[in-house]
Amino acid sequence: MEIDALAKGVGLFASALNALKQTLALLPDSSKKADAAAALERAEREFKIAEAAVASKLKYEICRNHFPPVVMLSKNDLIWECPECKNTKNNTPAPPSYYDLEADMT
């Protein structure tokens, strides 16, 4: 249940950031609008870093071609793909080596 609550919280925070972006676009141009836009960009960047850290702890793959990193998506837990750059990572387990087999026999 903790993971569900975390996922819901992440989704709500992302929705809040999007709402703030839309509201910011409606404001007249001024130095305060520029300051607010910069603060919003910092918050969005920190959110993406936190999202990647949580995803990594949950054993999701992270695309490190970007900063902040992007959570990779997968349908079968073997091949992961970055939704932004389409970089892929293959998590197919390697066959056991001779030394692994020898250790299993003892």
* pLDDT tier, 92 (very low <50, low <70, confident <90, very high otherwise): low
- Mean pLDDT over all residues of the chain? 81
Q: Which residues contact 23 (CB under 8 A, 6 or more apart)?
A: none
pLDDT of residue 42: 93
Tens digit of each residue's pLDDT (9 = 90 or more) over 26-59: 889 999 999 999 999 999 998 888 888 888 888 8
pLDDT of residue 41: 92
How many CB atoms are located within 10 Å of the residue 29 CB? 7
Query: Angle at which helices 2-26 and 31-57 pack, to 10 degrees?
Result: 160
DSSP class of residue 57? H
How many Å apart are CA 106 and CA 50, to the nearest integer? 44
